[in-house]
A = this chain, B = another copy of it.
């Protein structure tokens, strides 16, 4: 059975040596000294290793079962959920006004990674609740906040998001679910929603569904969509639970993975709902939830790859097979461990350099969110808005690829479910799809985010890379990292230039290259993160750290990423510059 141990040392390095959070002006960061963050992360790591990880494989095997309208989660989930609630983990970065602990989003992200790595399917119950909490927090009335938020902060009640219908996923303008206004100010919601994660289960007293629907009389298409709060049980004036609402699970789906989470068809049959935010402005409110969810999904991408990597590494160190080509390494054993072989090493370095780079990228992104929400820093808000599709799309593509690579280290045993390696690949696969399939992320990035505010956020990013390179230019030790980063960044600029010059007259020319651009930009972002980490590592070495091995390993991994992954930017640029013609040459009928 796979095991998991929280990479607290690595997280601490990012928080305190790369991001230097206690030196930041973000309100609340000054309290986050290394002693405090270390204690929180260690404690989260214990819960993850002792409570959550042991339920990961069994949750996959058992799955969720629907019987007589009730969904039973896998054995042990209920107790584990209770433990999470009791430990206060669900309230970590929530508003103290509603029972939260008020820690920065960055801390919620670091802790979230640990829980996702240990048990992705389990963590979704809480993760979706957090998304719904944020939407109500941002758009709810005072009454709505008072009614729902305290219970959602504690996860006594959980939350869901209901967008997709059988005939429409990406294109929500086609939505058919209706909302009829009632005299008491409520609405009656009728329609069918599919792919509703945690739509029904036995972990909470109540489930608060956020449902997109078309209110009577609104405009056609996406502009007539509003967001509604539809609780499973109606809530009485005194906060106690009342009658069962007209919403029921119709079916749970058989899926490739995340079996521990119930993916439900939800039938709304005149269910009572209350408008959240403005009428016909449902997408705006929903986007609060979706943007958070997209970052959370990007985190899932590398968090699952982290566990897969840990278990691939353990196997590579233990499994004896063949001899090193440069001479026997394990003379007293029948063979050398797999890790001596260069191609196994390449595979492990791919995984390590991705996971650690993605962690830095995600933590940096969380830090931008804190700057945006706690400091009203518009530049940070613009930057994280630009980065969101990259964090989601690039990291989940690579995260899946790395989970598959980890499985490969196990050879035939990786294909057998007993090893647990297949589950990591199967679970990771969904992250490329939900919260906007990665093609949609690429479209959002190239079709919308690049040009936002006249392109100022992407220019700010280029500046950031340039400034970093310039500031580090004197240090020859950084050359092997900075030169490839400089090249990659120039390739990203060239791609942006290509879009500017061609996109206006032929939108297809930009969109045919959107997926490649998302990956190109992902590499530049991870390249920048690795450069920052290498710089921090050299600083520690120069200061005479007592733990030089850790920092040397960071530098070697940075050099690996620069040497073997940044050159992918050239390939992506070549594809982008080949334009729309090769992609669109065939008529649809010619396929």
A residues sitting closer than 8 Å to B (CB atoms) are 164, 167-171, 174, 194-195, 253-257, 263, 313, 317, 320-322, 325-326, 334-335, 337, 339-349, 352, 400, 404, 407-408, 411-412, 414-418, 422, 425-426, 429-430, 432-434, 437-439, 442-443, 447, 507-508, 511-512, 514-515, 549, 552-553, 556-557, 559-560, 563-564, 567-568, 570-571, 574-575, 578, 580, 582-586, 588, 590-591
* A255 → B minimal CB distance (Å): 5
Q: Indicate if the CB atoms of B559 and A342 lie closer than 8 Å.
A: no
Cα-based distance from A349 to B584 in the complex (angstroms): 9
* B-chain residues with CB within 8 Å of residue A568 when the two chains form the complex: 571
B564 touches A585 (CB 8 A): no
- Check A507 against B325 for contact (C-beta < 8 Å): yes
Copies of chain A in the complex: 2
Are B582 and A508 in touch, CB under 8 angstroms? no
Find out whether the CB atom of A321 lies under 8 angstroms from the CB atom of B408: no
Q: How far is the CB of A505 from chain B (nearest CB, A)?
A: 11
Pick the contact of A508 from B325, B339, B347, B574 — CB < 8 Å?
A: B325
Q: Which of B347, B553, B583 contacts A342 (CB 8 A)?
A: B583
Q: Which B residues are in CB contact (< 8 Å) with A341? A: 439, 511
Q: Which residues of B have CB within 8 Å of A583?
A: 342, 345-346, 349, 560, 564
* Residue numbers in B under 8 Å from A574 (CB-CB): 567, 570
Question: In the complex where A439-B408, A571-B570, A578-B563 touch, is A168 in contact with B321 (Cβ < 8 A)?
Answer: yes
User: Of all chain B residues, which has the CB nearest A550?
Assistant: B590
Given A575-B567, A580-B342, A582-B560, residue A429 in contact with residue B404 (CB < 8 A): yes
Chain B residue numbers with a CB within 8 Å of A515 are 343, 346-347
Cβ B433 vs Cβ A412 within 8 A: yes
Closest chain B residue to A410, Cβ basis:
B433
Q: A417-B254, A417-B255, A586-B349 are in contact. Are A334 and B408 (CB under 8 A)?
A: no
A422's nearest neighbour on chain B, judged by CB, is: B256
Q: Which residues on B sit within 8 Å (CB–CB) of A552?
A: 590
Q: In the complex, which residues of chain B have a beta carbon less than 8 angstroms from the beta carbon of A588?
A: 317, 337, 339-340
B564 near A439 (CB under 8 angstroms)? Answer: no
Q: Are B254 and A418 in contact (CB under 8 A)?
A: yes
Residues of B within 8 A of A591 (CB): 313, 317, 339, 348, 352, 553
Q: Which residue of B lies closest to A515 (CB)?
A: B343
How distant is the Cα of A447 from the Cα of B585 in the complex, in angstroms?
A: 41
Give the distance in Å from the alpha carbon of A352 to the alpha carbon of B583 in the complex. 11
Complex contacts, A512 vs chain B, CB 8 Å = 342-343, 345-346
Decide: A578 and B553 in contact? CB cutoff 8 A. no
B556 near A169 with CB under 8 A, answer: no
Do residues B416 and A254 form an inter-chain contact, with CB atoms below 8 A? yes
Residue of B nearest to A571 (CB): B571
Kindly state the separation between the CA atoms of A346 and B447 in the bound complex, as whole angstroms.
16
Partner of A564 from B343, B549, B563, B578 at Cβ < 8 Å: B578
Closest Cβ–Cβ distance, residue A152 to chain B (whole Å): 25
Q: How far is the CB of A128 from chain B (nearest CB, A)?
A: 15
Contacts of A407 in B (CB 8 A): 429
Q: Considering the chains assembled together, what is the distance between the CA atoms of A508 and B327 in angstroms?
A: 11
> Judging by beta carbons under 8 Å apart, are B434 and A412 in contact?
yes
Listed by A's residue number, 29 A-B pairs whose Cβ atoms lie within 8 Å are A170-B411, A194-B412, A253-B417, A254-B416, A254-B418, A255-B415, A256-B422, A256-B425, A317-B591, A337-B588, A341-B439, A342-B511, A343-B442, A346-B512, A346-B583, A347-B439, A347-B515, A349-B582, A349-B583, A408-B439, A415-B434, A552-B590, A553-B586, A553-B591, A557-B586, A560-B582, A564-B578, A567-B571, A568-B571
Among all A-B residue pairs, the 5 with the closest Cβ atoms: A342-B511, A256-B422, A556-B585, A567-B574, A563-B578
A153 to chain B, nearest CB (A): 29
Contact of A164 among B171, B346, B412 (CB under 8 A): B412
Chain B nearest CB from A570 CB (Å) reads: 6
- Known pairs A255-B416, A322-B170, A418-B254; A343 contacts B430 (CB<8 A): no
Supposing A342-B514, A575-B564 touch, asked if A425 and B433 sit within 8 A by C-beta, the answer is: no
CB distance from A244 to the nearest CB of B (A): 28
CA A422 to CA B254, docked complex, whole Å: 11
* A369-B188 Cα distance, complex, nearest whole Å: 69
How far apart are the CA atoms of A171 and B586 in the complex, in Å? 48
Please, which residues of chain B bring their CB within 8 A of the CB of A346?
A: 512, 515, 583
A578 to B578, CA, bound (A): 27
Shortest Cβ distance from A410 into chain B, in angstroms?
Answer: 9
Provide the bound-state CA to CA distance between A325 and B447, in Å: 10
Shortest distance between the CB of A319 and any CB in chain B (Å): 9
With A and B bound together, what is the CA distance between A118 and B397 in angstroms?
28
A167: B residues at CB distance < 8 A: 320
Min CB–CB distance A138 → chain B (angstroms): 26
**In the assembled complex, which residues on chain B have CB atoms less than 8 Å from the CB atom of A447?**
325
B571 touches A439 (CB 8 A): no
CA distance A308 to B216 in the complex (A): 41
Cα A514 to Cα B559 with chains together (Å): 20
Q: Provide the residues of chain B in CB contact with A570, threshold 8 Å.
A: 567, 570-571, 574
Contacts of A416 on B, CB cut-off 8 Å? 253-256, 263
Q: Report the Cα distance A499→B348, complex, angstroms.
A: 22
Q: Chain B residue with minimal CB distance to A194?
A: B412
CA distance A341 to B584 in the complex (A): 9
A408 contact set on B, CB distance < 8 A: 432-433, 437-439
C-alpha gap A345/B408 in the complex (Å): 30
